[in-house]
Amino acid sequence: MFLKKLSALTLGVAAMGLTAIPAMAQDFKGVTVDILTRPGYVIAGPLAERGKDFEAMTGAKIVVTEVPFAEIFPKIQADWSTGTNSIDVGVFAAGWGVELDAAGLLEDLDPYIAADSKIDLDDIAPYFRDFGQKVGGKTKLLMVDGDFQMVYYRTDVLSSNGLQPPKTWEEYLDVASKIHGQDMNGDGEGDFGSCIFKKRNAQSYFAIQTFAAPIVQTQGTAQGFHFDNATMKPIINNEGWKKAFELYKATGEFGPPEELNMDIGDTRALFKAGRCGLIVEWGDPGTLQLDDDATAIKGKMYAISAVGSTEVLDRATGKLVPVSAATAPYAVDGINYAPFAAFGGWAGAVNKGADAKTKAAAYAFLSYMNQAAQSGVDVTIGATGYNPYRTSQLASTDLWVKAGMPKALADNYLGAINGAINNLNMASDMKIPGAQKYTSVVLDTELARYLAGEITVDEALANIEEGWEEVTEDFGRDEQVASQALALGL
């Protein structure tokens, strides 16, 4: 199935490439565009494959270099900042662009967009268009992927146990405890109630934010859930985050024994093998379950746009209070939801220091990847790692059914993503200078130490608070306040 899809992708690319030639008929012969991104086929693979077609159309050679996830940002930052300029395009988390832009390293893409009739920016969902692609009101990145973190559950397992999908994290634990140890793939072995990637230096720090968002953010997206926006004092050492940490750790009781050493690749292998009842993931499982190696779960992994909380943080006291119209105005049926736009999606940015022709070729390639004709195919293939971010991809199930997704699953999948993207209390990922340090270094390290039992939750939160304050001082408090206001649209 996977190979068939890749063949379909290749044929589709070729067919669409032919139709796209007139628009792309710029002569980039002799130009090489060096792209740096994450390792593996996910994200990098389609860039390389479509790069070959782009070369056939325009003459520009696309070279994709892969580095470990934790090294993407520092390598790009060091390369562009020191004038080495061996990288022309960085494909990374949309939120990371702001730090590079603050250093004056990103090319303004608006002039290119003005001359581009194919990109159709209006078709990009508002969150990704305005928060993902723009920095300081100017388009500095182009999305190739749209990201939200959601909860997925095995419909067959839950229904056979007479269970409903969880609405709160407490219910998540309850469901996980009831199905943990059951054989979910018919191999005679007990499987796991919950699977979450908890390895350090991987994706664990995103999942903890998915747990914390509905407890800490109550007043809409502009409120944020990391800082007091007026002072940039961390809102982390309180009962809200403490509860999120404790709930997150508690899921480990119903997870695989090696969960602390598992990254997203490991958990994906597990749920594709039918070994997980509940998972926290991005949009990928919706399409990954259609792969040939996922027959155990095909059409059975349904999504929930967000899991919420019946208690929320009172920021004045740092205590938890019950959800009410006053404490959580966006709550539904007494539950506050805050779907987390984790990572913000993979986006491409062009190095301002590259020469003019390379920059033009780099933009043309990113535009080519972003255009509905190409991305509309890519997002339906799980192996690409690309999730929908265009309205045309989210408005109808036709595209998905055509790609082989059962209609009921497509309804559920798009419903969950649309539910997340249209939620007025949607939680935005950090988009300020130092975002990577705040989260993937400070938060990730202390979370890992808490999960491993090295420190208590109170120590972890106190350390994060202190660490975040140090990062804020390093970047300048006033500058960070201004960046936060810009990021949250204040």
Q: Which residues bind another protein (CB under 8 A)?
A: 70-71, 73-74, 77-78, 80-83, 103-105, 199-202, 257-258, 260-261, 352-353, 436-437, 440-442, 445, 448-455, 459, 463-464, 466-467, 470, 474
Q: How far is the CB of 41 from another protein (least distance, A)?
A: 20
CB of 29 within 8 A of CB of 59?
yes
Nearer Cβ to another protein (357/449)? 449
Six token digits for residue 240: 């809200």
Residues 71 and 431: their CA atoms lie apart, in Å, by 18
- What H or E segment, with its residue span, contains residue 315? none
Q: Would you give the distance in Å from CA 386 to the centre of its chain?
A: 10
Q: How far is the CB of 222 from another protein (least distance, A)?
A: 28
Q: How far is the CB of 70 from another protein (least distance, A)?
A: 5
Q: How far is the CB of 478 from another protein (least distance, A)?
A: 15
Nearer Cβ to another protein (77/219)? 77
Nearer Cβ to another protein (152/227)? 227
CB of 83 within 8 A of CB of 353?
yes
Nearer Cβ to another protein (107/123)? 107
Three-class SS of residue 167? Answer: coil
Backbone angles phi, psi at 477, to 5 degrees: -60, -45
Nearer Cβ to another protein (273/401)? 273
Nearer Cβ to another protein (110/459)? 459
Q: How far is the CB of 472 from another protein (least distance, A)?
A: 12
Q: How far is the CB of 31 from another protein (least distance, A)?
A: 23
Q: How far is the CB of 312 from another protein (least distance, A)?
A: 27
The partner residues of 467 in beta bridges, in order of sequence, read none
Residues 300 and 16: their CA atoms lie apart, in Å, by 32
* Sign of the torsion angle spanned by Cα atoms 64, 70, 76, 79: negative
Nearer Cβ to another protein (312/442)? 442
Measure the CA angle with vertex 41, ends 436 and 365; round to 5°.
Answer: 80
Q: How far is the CB of 447 from another protein (least distance, A)?
A: 9
Six token digits for residue 204: 């664990």
Nearer Cβ to another protein (103/490)? 103
Nearer Cβ to another protein (83/186)? 83
CA nearest to 149, candidates 336, 294, 303: 303
Q: How far is the CB of 141 from another protein (least distance, A)?
A: 17
Nearer Cβ to another protein (249/315)? 249
Q: How far is the CB of 441 from another protein (least distance, A)?
A: 5
Q: How far is the CB of 379 from another protein (least distance, A)?
A: 30
Three-class SS of residue 304? Answer: strand
* Sign of the torsion angle spanned by Cα atoms 49, 54, 56, 59: negative
Q: How far is the CB of 267 from another protein (least distance, A)?
A: 14
CB of 211 within 8 A of CB of 244?
yes
Q: How far is the CB of 330 from another protein (least distance, A)?
A: 33
How is the beta sheet containing 192-195 ordered, strand by strand?
192-195, 276-281, 150-154, 301-304
Residues 65 and 372: their CA atoms lie apart, in Å, by 25
Neighbours of 257 (CB within 10 A): 9
The partner residues of 152 in beta bridges, in order of sequence, read 279, 303
Query: Measured between alpha carbons, how far is residue 279 from residues 157, 178, 274, 348 in Å?
Result: 13, 15, 11, 28
CB of 386 within 8 A of CB of 144?
yes
Q: Would you give the distance in Å from CA 111 to the centre of its chain?
A: 28
Nearer Cβ to another protein (189/398)? 189
CA nearest to 448, candidates 202, 89, 182, 148: 202
Nearer Cβ to another protein (26/445)? 445
CA nearest to 437, candidates 74, 136, 161: 74
Quick one: 262 exposed, middle or buried, by C-beta within 10 A (0-12, 13-18, 19+)? buried
Neighbours of 182 (CB within 10 A): 15
Nearer Cβ to another protein (219/445)? 445
